[in-house]
Amino acid sequence: MSITYLEAICEAQSHALRDDPRVFIYGQDVGAFGGAFKATKNLAKEYPGRVIDAPISEDAMVGLAVGAAIEGMRPIIEMQFADFSTVGFNQIVNQAATLFWRTTVPCPITVRLPFGGTSGSGPFHSQSLEAVYAHYPGLVVMTPATVEDAYSMLLEAVAIDDPVIFCEHKFLYYHLKADKLPSEALPVGKARIAREGRDMTIVAYSAMVHEALEAAAELAPEGWEVEVVDLRTVKPLDTDTVMASVARTGRLLCVGEAWPWGGVTAEVIARVTSEGFGLLDVPPQRLNAKDTPVPYHPNLWTAHRPTPQAVAAAARRLLRL
């Protein structure tokens, strides 16, 4: 048996619906149609009345989830694309993210964001918004990079009493497969060493973990042993695991698919330089998408985002410093 990242997300939702009567799914086309990406395939049939089509109203979708959460439910909101969550941004960052702090009443909602670039998707179906949401207090931001994490972290997201922004990478939906679903997982908030090495650390998350692993494999025949840290959640950020890795390697490259300005890679570098400056042998570097909207044509798109080749090139430059 093999299961894809997308099927793991569908299975996790099925599991959550089965185990917890408080769970329901609300989003555009999630009902009988099974979702734009089929992440809710068959769920409306299996759980009648609990997988519900929403109008194209991202603001009202999230608002409804907050009201339902106050009444004790555990809603999962599917944004059709992460890009459209900006229409529901106000409800996420001002309503959901402030509720507990203002009132002591928790807001257990999960907002699923199919995010990241795929070839030909262009400026409005490719965005990576994890840093934008991580900027706001009151939110947990998950960025699973593996089939196993997609499954176990989505279950955790639903179980957590706080609003969770669940960033699921569209490129990984079909490309990533595992033999089976996991029975146990690392705790949420804990990063993972995806590949061990002693010469440098690459910190990445979501799809960029795979680009980093490919780059590490490319560098191995050249004699470099590259360690890859998968952040798993960008908020909270597991600074300890990153720092421990940098303590071993002395070199740090952060890779993110999002735009560079004030992003997750900037945050990681800020933490390592302010708390572990002495661990660094050379200045830390980062590699992000370019600071433009995400382009449509594959020629532009592959040059816009970090590819394994770009990561490997950046790593080589860092190793020679």
What's the CA gap between 191 and 234, in Å, rounded? 9
- Residue 292 found at the interface with other proteins (CB under 8 A): no
Among 63, 122, 250, 308, binds other proteins (CB under 8 A): 63
Please name the helix (run of DSSP H) or strand (run of DSSP E) that holds residue 88, with its range, or none: none
Which of the residues 192 through 221 are near other proteins (CB under 8 A)? none
- Residue 223 found at the interface with other proteins (CB under 8 A): no
Task: Give the Cβ contact number of residue 120 at 10 Å.
Answer: 12
- Residue 48 found at the interface with other proteins (CB under 8 A): no
Of 100 and 296, CB closest to other proteins: 100
What's the CA gap between 25 and 44, in Å, rounded? 9
Among 1, 2, 55, 221, binds other proteins (CB under 8 A): 55
**Contact stretch for other proteins (CB under 8 A) within 111-119, 157-165, 248-256, 290-298:** 157-165
Planar angle of CA 80, 126, 160, nearest 5 degrees: 55
Which of the residues 120 through 149 are near other proteins (CB under 8 A)? 137-140
> By rule CB under 8 A, what string of x and - marks binding of each residue 240-279 to other proteins?
-------------------------------x--xx----
What's the CA gap between 315 and 321, in Å, rounded? 10
* Collapsed DSSP state (helix, strand, coil) of residue 211: helix
From the candidates 15, 125, 135, 297, which is the catalytic residue?
A: 125
Of 23 and 315, CB closest to other proteins: 23
Q: Can you count the helices (H) and strands (E) in the chain?
A: 13, 14
Among 48, 49, 221, 223, binds other proteins (CB under 8 A): 49
Annotate 226-253 with DSSP letters as a single string. EEEEE-SEEES--HHHHHHHHHHHS-EE
**Contact stretch for other proteins (CB under 8 A) within 2-10, 31-39, 89-97, 119-127:** 89-97
Q: Applying CB under 8 A, what is the total number of residues that bind other proteins? A: 54
Determine the longest span between alpha carbons in the chain, in angstroms.
60
Shortest spacing between CB 152 and other proteins, in angstroms: 15
Distant-in-sequence, close-in-space partners of 245: CB < 8 Å, separation ≥ 6: 193, 201, 203, 227, 229
- Residue 190 found at the interface with other proteins (CB under 8 A): no
Rg of the chain (C-alpha set): 19
In the chain, DSSP assigns E strands to 3-4, 23-27, 51-53, 74-78, 110-115, 140-142, 164-169, 177-178, 192-195, 200-204, 226-230, 233-235, 252-255, 285-287
Distance in angstroms between the alpha carbons of the first and the last residue of the chain: 46
- Residue 119 found at the interface with other proteins (CB under 8 A): no
Among 94, 119, 292, 309, binds other proteins (CB under 8 A): 94
Is 297 marked active-site? no
Among 29, 36, 38, 70, binds other proteins (CB under 8 A): 70
- Residue 33 found at the interface with other proteins (CB under 8 A): no
Annotate 111-155 with DSSP letters as a single string. EEEEES--TT--TTS----HHHHHTSTT-EEE---SHHHHHHHHH
Among 9, 12, 97, 153, binds other proteins (CB under 8 A): 97
Among 3, 9, 44, 69, binds other proteins (CB under 8 A): 69
- Residue 228 found at the interface with other proteins (CB under 8 A): no
- Residue 71 found at the interface with other proteins (CB under 8 A): yes
The residues assigned a catalytic role are 125
Residues that bind other proteins (CB under 8 A): 24, 49-50, 54-55, 57-73, 75, 87, 90-91, 94-95, 97-106, 137-140, 160-162, 188-189, 235-237, 239, 271, 274-275
